Chains A and B, each alone.
Chain A
Amino acid sequence: MDDLYLPRLARITEVRDETPDTRTFVLQLRDGPVADALPFVPGQFLELSVFGCGEAPFCIASSPTRARALEVTVRRTGQLTDALHTLGPGDEIGLRGPCGNGFDVPAARGKDLVFVAGGIGLPPLRGLIWNVLDEREKFGRVTVLYGARTPSDLVYKNELADWGRRDDLELLVTVDRAEPGWEGNVGMVPILFDMTELRPATSLVYVCGPPIMIRFVVQDLLMRGFAEDAVISTLERMMQCGVGKCNHCAIGHRYICRDGPVFSYRQIREMVE
């Protein structure tokens, strides 16, 4: 049997509704505790199998500092995610990984960290954010800037409320369109840049969201004096194998699944589509 393509079995132990179309699945491996059986770093991803349907890649949304379980947050957008959303506690899925490079956490020590997320772009950063909060003394200021289309589309609402109460983290949230009862910011994510104090010289910025949002955010950050190496993103592509063979996620001679998904903006700029 080919180890590269053979999934391990995992049981869904809990499902949390995040938005009308997005759920978080909590997973336990059949073959032992996550920390021992599947060591990972934030930013890595899993190839999840819904047997009889297929496989697709999802970022690990949990932190290795809280590795009692694995968490993935999945928006329902296609066949496989439709099938995954029909599963609940007690059901089994398959998983391969961890795949990809992940974030360089030691390189972030001592830096001010800014997280910029749009919509379903928060889950790939959430593992890193919790990793940073659990080792809070190793990092400088922590700022989380989060935007979604509407208040209902914000994921991790309970956690956002907790983060908002912490005094060792600055959280700013905005929505493109308000709904009744929303008293917060309205506008695209870059409007939040003027509401906080950005420190380009001492900061690393982690950006994740839809391609159009990444483009505008990165342009804005560069104009504000951030170096291309200080802007870090995690890319998404259509993937199949997750192990650098099938060619679906290739950009130039780089493979998002193997060389990435985490790249600095300098690396992204040098890629040849």
Chain B
Amino acid sequence: MSDQDSARGRSAGPRGAFAIERSRIDDWVSTLLARGWVVAPTAGHGGDVLYAPVETPDQVRWEFDNSLHPPKEVLLPQTDPLFEIRGERTGWQLEALPPGKPRILLNARSCDVSGMRFLRRVHESDLPDSAYLRRDADLTVVSLSCPQPCPQGFCICCDAGPFLDDGFDVQLTDLGELMLAEVGSAKGEALVRTGNGLFRPATEQELSRRRMLEAVAIDSFGESTCHFASAMRRISTGRVVEALWDTMSDWCFECGACTLVCPTCYCFSIKDRQSGGGWQRCRMWDSCQYGAFTLEASGHNPRPHRKDRVKRRFYHKVSAQYHVRDGTVGCVGCGRCVTVCLGTTDMPAVVAAIRKGVWNG
């Protein structure tokens, strides 16, 4: 409704902004549940935040530190059946699986929505991956902006948060007694319209409060400089000395956790899994940090050392060559690799070490 500028970009979704009373939000979630499958942050065992299908509005969390596992599994399941295989060696039938149902992802954090935008570009580019893109098209993303950035996040360095300018269908911002809903797409518009009478157009004063929250959130990142540009130049031109990769990779335990929790990682393998009397051809998560990732049947391995694999990960994430292809670094600054790394070979540490030429592992 307003086209005034926010702190960094356009405020208010391209299709307008609306407000709903916080006390009515459960009523809205009920209307979403009536439309179909809703995935939202829930309280898991031990208090962990888990994105999972919800059945009642009270399961949805509205104030939470981001989940350890990004909600990318909604689009990229760990095991993703592609088709059914029936028959025997002299004659096979390949059968399609029933199409997935439209789904809603509620309260995704800005970094994770940015990760999904990255994954969409990867699956659209060159040969389009129609199965992924169909699932993406059937998903409506309601993001929840981050007025209080998480301690290990650096989304601001990746243009991936704490508030979004685009990439969402609806972006919610918690204004206390109100929830502001910026609409970014026709799919988002449909969700707001579903809440018949629950939403009214946002006022200029409410939009101004949202802009203020974004400005405060951005300010809370402090004045620290971002090292991506320096690391990108050095990685892209092969000017990171080998000894530095050696030292850095000494702090990697090859567990692959950084790739499993990364919102932009998508490496996979294809395997046949027994199912009923036949098989399912499945796409399954894999990790470039595992030694067998490049192991050939002959026994030859072009990336035999841990250093080679750590180097590969950061080349894919940070090189200018991939930046040209993907339009961004392969990082959304969620900080999950900082949390899960058993050593210290996480994105901020590696990028800083490359920039300084010194590893403080």
What is the CB-to-nearest-CB distance from A8 to chain B, in angstroms, rounded to a whole number?
A: 9
Of the candidates A52, A238, A253, the one whose C-beta lies within 8 Å of that of B294 is A238
Interface of B is mostly: mixed
CB of B205 closer than 8 Å to a CB of A: no
Q: B131 touches which one: A2, A81, A92, A248 (CB < 8 A)? A: A2
Q: A228-273: which have CB < 8 Å to B? A: 236-238, 240-241, 243-248, 250-253, 258, 272-273
Partner of B92, one of A4, A51, A243: A51
Q: How distant is B18 from chain A, measured CB to nearest CB, in Å?
A: 37
Contact between chains at A51 and B270 (CB < 8 Å): no
A243 smallest CB distance to B (angstroms): 5
The answer to whether A78 touches B297 (Cβ under 8 A) is: yes
Q: Mark B316-338, 1 if CB is under 8 A from A, else 0.
A: 10010110010000000000000
Tell me the bound Cα distance from A258 to B126 in angstroms.
Answer: 9
| Cβ 8 A contact of B89, one of A2, A81, A87 | A87
Tell me, in angstroms, the Cα distance from A91 to B90 when the chains sit together: 4
- Point out which of B92, B274, B321 has the most chain A C-beta atoms below 10 A from its C-beta: B92
CB of B129 within 8 A of chain A? Answer: yes
Contact partners of A9 in chain B: CB under 8 A:
92, 94
Output the least CB separation between A1 and chain B (Å). Answer: 4
Tell me which residues across on chain A come within 8 A of B311, comparing CB atoms.
273
Partner of B269, one of A78, A248, A273: A248
**Number of B residues whose C-beta is below 8 Å from A?**
52
Q: Does A98 contact B (CB under 8 A)?
A: no
Q: Is residue B123 within 8 Å, beta carbon to beta carbon, of the partner chain?
A: yes
Q: Considering the complex, which residues of chain B in the window 82-101 have a beta carbon less than 8 Å from any beta carbon of chain A?
A: 82-83, 85, 87, 89-92, 94, 96-97
CA distance A5 to B128 in the complex (A): 11
Most B CB within 10 A of own CB, among A55, A245, A258: A245
Grouping DSSP codes into helix (H, G, I), strand (E, B) and loop, the A interface class, with mixed when no group exceeds half, is loop
| A5 in contact with B281 (CB, 8 Å) | yes
* Given A5-B131, A51-B92, A253-B321 contact (CB < 8 Å): yes
Could you give, for residues 190-234 of chain B, a 1 whenever the CB lies within 8 Å of some chain A CB and a 0 otherwise? Answer: 000000000000000000000000000000000000000000000
Query: Given the complex of chains A and B, what is the CA–CA distance between A247 and B313 in angstroms?
Result: 11
**Which residues of A sit under 8 angstroms from B243, Cβ to Cβ?**
none
Q: Which of A78, A94, A253 contacts B94, CB < 8 Å? A: A94
**B297 adjacent to A6 (CB under 8 Å):** no
B303 on interface, CB distance cutoff 8 Å: yes
Report the minimal beta-carbon distance from A91 to chain B, rounded to whole angstroms.
5
By a CB distance below 8 angstroms, the chain A residues around B126 are 243-244, 258
Within 8 A of A (CB), among B79-127: 82-83, 85, 87, 89-92, 94, 96-97, 122-123, 126-127
Q: How far is the CA of A49 from the CA of B83 in the complex (A)?
A: 13
Contacts A/B (CB < 8 Å), 5 sampled: A5-B82, A52-B279, A91-B90, A92-B92, A247-B266
Q: Which B residues lie at the A interface, using CB under 8 A? A: 82-83, 85, 87, 89-92, 94, 96-97, 122-123, 126-131, 238, 266-272, 274, 278-279, 281, 283, 286, 288, 293-298, 300, 302-303, 308, 311-312, 315-316, 319, 321-322, 325
Nearest 9 pairs of A and B residues by beta carbon: A2-B131, A78-B297, A253-B321, A1-B96, A77-B297, A247-B267, A91-B89, A51-B85, A5-B82
